[in-house]
Amino acid sequence: AENLCCSYPCQNGGVCLTKGFKDYECDCTSTDFYGRNCETPTFSKRIKLWLKPSPLTLHNLMIGNNWLWNMVNNIPFLRGFIMKKVYTMRSDMIDSPPTYENEHPYITLDANYNVSFYTRTLPPVPVECPTPMGVAGKKILPDVDVLVNKLFIREKFKPEPIGTSALFSFFAQHFTHQFFKTDIKRGPQYQWGGHGVDMTHVYGKNKHDENLLRSFKDGKLKAQTVNGEEWPPLSKDAQVEMQYIMPVPEDSKYALGHSFFGNLPGLFMYASIWMREHNRGETIKIVIEDYVQHLSNYNFKLLFDPSLLFGEPFQYQNRIALEFNHLYHWHPLMPDDFTIGGVNYTMKDFLVNPKLVIKHGMATFVDSLSKQNAGAFTVRNHGKYTVNVVKDLIKHGRTLRLQPLNNYRKRFNLKPFKSFEELTGNKWLAKELENFYGDIEAVEFYVGLITEKRRPKAVFGEAIVEMGGPYSVKGLMANPICSPKYWKPSTFGGSVGFDIVNTATIEKLFCQNIKEDCPVVSFKVPG
């Protein structure tokens, strides 16, 4: 007998239950919908839906209307009001406490208590379904090598259209590696991180590593001076385990908070600047007001102010979701080569070569990355060294039985796509995808995300933003330092420390830790 839940009959967040052998039931509890498939809104929900602007309307409001935002940005009460809406609307999309894990298509307590699992926003496709995606599409998914050769491999570099810099790409990688930590030996559903912004990528994964990295003087991390600048210690002077993707000479091995960060100069650069700075509250401030600000391209000036959530119903707990990890695979943002202080380096020259940062110096390095364009997040734009990463990712999506993109669109209040052309906005690509999947309802998660048409004036398509936004806002604002008992000057050593957090910017982070004149520090290539 077939599992009737394989066709995802329950709408609007209703939960599907099999009933006997040839029936199903939808649990519509607290969805504001009723009916066999939770398809009918209650009267008050109908009015709310009618008044509610679509994600596209909101996006257009935020990226346009310069005059309006110039006014709002300068009226603290209005700016705070709008920002509170951003916090609550985004984080309300995330289940908290977490609901699903990878082993069951229904809620289990393990999803909450087993913190070695990534959580899942949507449960896995039931194993007994007729096709890998449920009932839609072919019985066998496209061959990963064929798929990647056709849709992922970069032939000619495509620059990111809104002018995102390579400084941004490395920030993304550096920042997110503190909480995307797959424990691949156990399997792609396992992780070894702390489910949030815990700064383990600077201080080390546990107390043991932290003690090795700390100098126990003035609260500072161990450091060494080379060419008149401070850099992380060599591995022989702080024996935390590092992992390199190819062999490295001993004198190029540095002790860093994250075992991967010796592999790329851009990561070593961020590791070094945070070692010089070391303050946790600043990260969230910089991520919201510089990093997400750039990413959103909003004319509204985003604000980091945890007190806006005080008194609101909001859970100060976070769990990293598998889907968040998958959608954050932004490898196309990496260019194939870099110009540092006028010298050209290929990615091959860059790999396992952190010494380049010391050689050119912090100022030149950050200046050069700021002036260099990132790659576009789109098809056929994965550089040579990241092709295997995306192959693994797609394979993991399959073993984990991620639901198709359209189900995620519905979960995050987006209209499911009706055709391949609507997804891609491109006839050639639509044709290719149709050959691979046969049915728009069977497009895999990551493949759908990267083939989705870009929004006007944006880095990504709709789905990445409408999913990534909620995970990101929830993860940042649910951090304990944002909670009422923590968010006060005494937690930061008094008003001086609190003030540092409240005025932090990416530019200050670099410039106040560089002795020379302030270089260009920008997530957007100037000019």
Least CB distance to ligand MNH at residue 235 (A): 20
Which lies closer to ligand MNH via its Cβ, residue 329 or residue 455? 329
Cα atoms found within 13 Å of the Cα of residue 340, Cβ hemisphere only: 25
Pairwise CA distance, residues 376 & 382, whole Å: 9
What single DSSP character describes residue 250?
Answer: G
Contact footprint for ligand MNH (CB under 6 A): 169, 172-173, 176, 180-182, 264, 325, 328-331, 333-334, 347, 385-386, 389, 392
| Cα–Cα nearest to 167, from 515, 507, 416 | 507
Element housing 17 (H / E) = strand 15-19
C-alpha 347: how far from chain center = 23
For residue 50, the minimal CB distance to ligand MNH (Å) is 38
In the complex, the smallest distance separating the C-beta of residue 176 from ligand MNH, rounded to whole angstroms, is 5
Catalytic choice (8, 270, 328, 471) = 328
111 Cα distance to chain centroid: 21
According to the 3-state scheme, what is the secondary structure of 42-82?
CHHHHHHHHHCCCHHHHHHHHHCCHHHHHHHCCCHHHHHHH
Return the number of the residue (201 or 455) whose C-beta is nearest ligand MNH. 201
Q: Is 298 a catalytic residue?
A: no
Nearest approach in angstroms of CB 91 to ligand MNH is 21
Contacts of 385 (CB under 8 A, 6+ apart): 347, 348, 351
Distance CA 191, CA 183 (A): 5
**Pick 366 or 442: Cβ nearer ligand MNH:** 366
CA distance 289 to 167: 16
Instruction: Report CA torsion sign: 197, 201, 202, 203.
Output: positive
Closest CA to 232 of 212, 205, 207, 213: 213
Q: 79 vs 201, which CB is nearer to ligand MNH?
A: 201
Nearest distance in Å: CB 303, ligand MNH: 24
Q: How far is the CB of 173 from ligand MNH (least distance, A)?
A: 4
By beta-carbon proximity to ligand MNH, the closer residue of 119 and 169 is: 169
CB 262 within 8 A of CB 254: yes
Q: How far is the CB of 348 from ligand MNH (least distance, A)?
A: 10
- Look at residues 329, 348, 375, 382 and name the one whose alpha carbon lies nearest to residue 149: 382
Q: Which is nearer to ligand MNH, 270 or 420 (CB)?
A: 270
Nearer to ligand MNH, 181 or 360 (CB): 181
Nearer residue to ligand MNH within complex by CB, 34 or 260? 260
Q: Could you give phi then psi for residue 214, rounded to 5 degrees? A: -80, 150
CB of 346 to ligand MNH, least distance (A): 11
Close Cβ partners of 29 (under 8 Å, ≥ 6 residues apart) = none
Give yes or no for a contact between 434 and 420, defined as CB atoms under 8 angstroms apart. Answer: yes
Give me the catalytic one of 59, 174, 177, 331.
Answer: 177
Q: Counting every residue, how long is the chain?
A: 527
Residue 190 falls in the annotated catalytic set: no
DSSP annotation of 264 reads -
Q: Are strands 214-217 and 337-340 parallel, antiparallel or unpaired?
A: unpaired
Task: Please give the backbone phi and psi of residue 444, each rounded to the nearest 5 degrees, phi first.
Answer: -65, 155
Which sequence positions are flagged as catalytic? 177, 328
